[in-house]
């Protein structure tokens, strides 16, 4: 059975001011559709925004998890003390100027305009390389035409 709403009933809606799913009071209807609601928390009046369905919530959660895993993947792999170990015995004055067009190999020394001098510690599929810099690691693209 489908629930029929009328003005004055309470519903859950996404509040545009609070940016949360909260209790609202229906203040206007368009036929059998809810048109306007008032937030019980901030008293803001706005168009009714239905709560996300379970599948939308699950998709949003997965996107957040994916974004977190990407952020973890780009986090530092080489600590500053590891950087010193990696660069010991290397002539960093001969470091190649970094450009996305150059092809990088393991152990190559590069000079990046923003991050400074670094050493390639991992070459990944998809033309990406993990480079250790003094302040930590970064994933850089390489071999782009």
Rounded average pLDDT over 15-27? 91
* Each residue's pLDDT tens digit, 64-99: 777 776 666 555 454 556 778 888 888 888 899 999
Domain-located, residue 3: no
**pLDDT band per the 50, 70, 90 thresholds, residue 112:** very high
Same domain? For 99 and 137 the reply is yes
Domain-located, residue 115: yes
Burial of 15 (C-beta count, 10 Å sphere; 0-12/13-18/19+): buried
Domain-located, residue 130: yes
Q: Which domain holds residue 54?
A: 10-71
Domain-located, residue 57: yes
Asked which of 47, 71, 95 is the last residue of a domain, the reply is 71
Biggest distance spanned by C-alpha atoms of the chain: 78
* Each residue's pLDDT tens digit, 22-34: 999 999 999 989 9
Domain count, the chain: 2
Asked which of 54, 71, 88 is the last residue of a domain, the reply is 71
Same domain? For 66 and 93 the reply is no
């Amino acid at each position: 059975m489908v629930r029929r709403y009328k003005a004055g009933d309470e519903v859950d809606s996404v509040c545009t001011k609070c940016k949360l799913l909260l209790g609202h009071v229906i203040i206007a209807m368009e036929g059998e559709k809810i048109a306007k609601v008032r937030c019980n928390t901030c008293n803001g009046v706005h168009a009714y925004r239905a709560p996300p369905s379970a599948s939308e919530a699950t998709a949003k959660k997965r996107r957040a998890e994916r974004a977190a895993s990407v952020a973890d993947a780009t986090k530092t792999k080489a600590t500053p003390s590891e950087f010193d170990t990696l660069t010991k015995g290397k002539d960093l004055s001969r470091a190649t100027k970094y450009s996305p067009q150059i092809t990088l190999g393991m152990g190559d020394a590069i000079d990046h305009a923003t991050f400074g001098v670094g050493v390639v510690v991992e070459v990944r599929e998809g033309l990406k390389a993990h480079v250790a810099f003094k302040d930590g690691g970064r994933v850089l693209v390489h071999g782009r035409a």
